[in-house]
Every structure is written in structure tokens, then in C-alpha cells.
Structure 1
Amino acid sequence: MEMSRKAIPYTPNDKSLKDMTIMIVSTSGVHLKDQEPFSTDTAQGDSTFRVIPGDVRAQDLTVTHAAPKEHYNTDAPKEDINCVFPIDRLRELADQGIIQGVAEKHVTMMGYAMRLKQINEVTIPAVAKEVVRSKADAVLLTAG
């Protein structure tokens, strides 16, 4: 079977979950309330990303997303950000010893974007660098 050039190769993990630091990477449009919101211009979308500090308080986060409400209703995430960006749940897992800890930073972007070439060639490589620099052992991917 031939693998697509866009396929993500399987990377075996030799660490136990209790020894892993977890980073969130999300396309749910989460950002700090004092960060620039994602653009909701549906003609262009937004191919940028935001870095969220690992010690962020859930109440300091919000969601800006251009997807039509019938595709992604942001009301629930605005009430409890953990439904799309489970920062408090990761901390609980760390407190219980199920994971080693929560990464020092996380990365978010808006999944509803039309600039796919720019996302593939610029955004995703930049996000990948943030992930590598974070030294997290695993990434929890979430979407809106």
C-alpha cells in the first residue's frame, strides 16, 4: 500500500502515559481574551495560530471562529472552554498521577480557513516547530 505524501507516519511511543507531558493543539479557535481574535472573514479565513501559555486559567480563554453556527456552535465552548480545550481536565489528570504534567505552552488555530496552500506550507510547519520546541511527549488534538 502506497502512503500519501500528506499522510502522517506512525510514531511509536515508548513512554508510559504517567511519564508523559501533554500539549494541546486545537483547531477550535481558542485564544486568550487579550490576544487578537481569529479573523471571521469567511472569504479568506485565518491561517494564523496562537500560542497559549501552559499555566493559563480557563476563564482567560474564549473562542472566535468563522464556521457557520450550524457547523460549529461556539456557545458551549464560551461557557466551558474545556469542551474544546481541556486544560482543566489535563491538570486533573496530572494531579491524579495519570499523566506527568501539562506542557508549558499549547497551540490553537481556527479550522475554518480557506488558504490551504498557506496553511500547508507556512502555518503547519510553524506549528510543528512550536510542538517540537515545547518538548511535550504527546499532543492532544482537538477540534471545534
Structure 2
Amino acid sequence: MKFFKAVILAIGRAIHRVSPKFSKKLEQGYPFARQKMVRLTHLATKNPRVALLSSAGLYLENQQPFQYKNFYGDFSFRVFPGDFPICFLRLTESDFDRSGFEADPGSLFPLTELKAVAAEFGGQVAEHHFSLLGFCLKPNKLLETSVPQILKILKEDKTDIVLLVPACVVCHEVLPPVAAALEKSGIATVTFAFIPRALEATRGPRTILFDGDCGLPFGALAVETRKELIRLAIRAAFEMKTAGEVWKFPPAFSAQTMTKNAAAVR
């Protein structure tokens, strides 16, 4: 199955260079692996420390880029300090549309917006944030090697919530097991998603579904809209009671309607 997926994505990357529209249709047929649910972590604080975890293949200018051209991808990770100039971020070479990131790195890593929202509710931005490469067709390697190291740092930082941000099709398969591993270790998670079909097979313990796109999930959203999305995610970390629940964004409806939408997505 790993080889089959790698072949599908290799074809998709090749076709993408000629016809992005056809590539997107191919991505819609990606065989997502099913993800088992885990129990939700209960937040014991009203003023949580919040970290970001991106799967866009981001790295800092003094770090090595990810190995995107490897046949099975890359299962390593990068760690960022809690407060760093966002202009220091770099994006690993890939087939993404890079224009959104180049114009505004927050389109992939909304750290500035997270800082603003954390200040509103008396929370804190965690001391470290993290980056993975979503193109990882050996997720067990990721879970066995990188995730324990990430957990160690999160525990040392006393981080309460991790917001997981996808950037591609495979990200929607890679991030849910990472979120589950964090939940099992007592850290609450909220995973963003922009491919509804992926949620039929795999999803994080808590999910916010919104209208994003590969390569620039927050690229089409204004800064204030990104803040609203993060506010909803932090609210979900406190209010979601059922593992696998999904809230849709924008939340132009009541909490009761959100629950109905969550059931519909299941």
C-alpha cells in the first residue's frame, strides 16, 4: 500500500507540473488510511499554553530543508522557538503554489495571529513550535522517532494545546495519528482540515473543517479571519466532548447546529 500511494503521488507530482487541475482530480482519489479514535484530553487550565505544528515542510533559515524528493518522503521534524521573526521561515521545495507563502508566511504558519488570540483570553504561546513534512508515506517511522521527541519538548514546556495545520492531501492522513499520540500523552489537540472526503476515513480527535487549499491553507483568509479560526479551534479544545467531532468554519450557526454538522461529516 505504501508503494502504491508513493506511485500515485509521484504521478500526481509529474502531472501537476503540466496540469494542476488534473493533478487535483488525481488527489481526490487518494486512498486515505482509516484512523482509530482515542479519548480526548481534558484541559485543566483556563489559560492554556498553545503551540503550532505545521506539516508544510517549513524550516528556519539556519536549518536543513526537508527531503521532499525522497520516494517515501521525510519523517524528521524541525523545532522553532516560541517567538521568532516569521520572515525567517523557509518552505521546502515542493509542488505547492508558493505565492501565498512568499507574500505572507502566515498563510501556512499563523503564529502572529495565535499570539494575538492568546493575549485576548489570557493564554500563552508555547515556548516551541514544530514542523513536519506532510509528504511522509512511512507514518510509523514518524510516530516512532519524531513524535516522542516532540512530546518530550511539549511536556518540558508544559504545553496544553497543539493546533495542527495541514498543507497537502497526505497531510490529512499524517496529522491525525500525530494528534492521537499527543492526546494519549495528555496534550489536547485540534487539527485543521480542508478536504472533507479525507474526514470520511481519517480525522484527528478534534477537527475544524474550513475552506482552504493545498499549499496555502490560510492563504485566502484575511488576518482577522485567521484569528477567528484560531479562536474557534481553542474553543473546540475546551468544548468538544466527543472524539472525532468536527466543527465547520465559518461558524455562522449556533453550537447546536455545529453538533449537527459534526454528525453529518461523520
What interval of TM-score do these two structures reach, taking the shorter chain for normalisation? 0.7 to 0.9
1:87-126, aligned counterparts within 5 Å?
87-95=111-119, 97-126=120-149
| Counterpart-to-counterpart distance in 2, 1:8 and 1:27 | 21
Residue of structure 2 equivalent to 1:79: 103
Match of 1:13 among 43, 55, 58: 43
Residue of structure 2 equivalent to 1:32: 60
| Counterpart-to-counterpart distance in 1, 2:38 and 2:105 | 28
| Contact 1:77–1:83 under 8 Å retained in 2 | yes
In the alignment, residue 127 of structure 2 is paired with which amino acid? E
| Counterpart-to-counterpart distance in 1, 2:36 and 2:98 | 29
In the alignment, residue 135 of structure 1 is paired with which amino acid? K
In the alignment, residue 46 of structure 1 is paired with which amino acid? D
Q: Percent identity?
A: 27
| Counterpart-to-counterpart distance in 2, 1:82 and 1:64 | 16
Residue of structure 2 equivalent to 1:64: 92
Residue of structure 2 equivalent to 1:140: 163
| Contact 1:105–1:134 under 8 Å retained in 2 | yes
| Counterpart-to-counterpart distance in 1, 2:75 and 2:161 | 23
Cα displacement (A) at 1:65? 5.2
Deviations 1:2-57 (A, max 9, x none): xx9953321122322xx122111121211112210111224131110000011111
Normalized per residue, which structure has more helix? 2
Point out the structure with max Rg over C-alpha. Answer: 2
Structure 1 runs of 4+ with >3 Å offset:
4-8
TM-score (norm 1): 0.80
- In structure 2, relative to structure 1, the CA distance for the partners of 1:82 and 1:91 (3 Å cut) is same
Aligned-partner SS, 1:28: coil
Normalized per residue, which structure has more strand? 1
Aligned-partner SS, 1:11: coil
Match of 2:150 among 112, 127, 130: 127
Cα displacement (A) at 1:89? 0.4
Aligned-partner SS, 1:73: coil
| Larger relative contact order, structure 1 or 2 (CA cutoff 8 Å, min sep 6) | 1
Deviations 1:104-128 (A, max 9, x none): 1111111111222311221222222
Aligned-partner SS, 2:75: coil
Superposition RMSD on alpha carbons, in Å?
Answer: 2.1
TM-score (norm 2): 0.46
Could you tell me which runs of 5 or more consecutive residues in structure 2 were left unpaired when the two chains were aligned.
1-33, 168-266
Cα displacement (A) at 1:78? 3.0
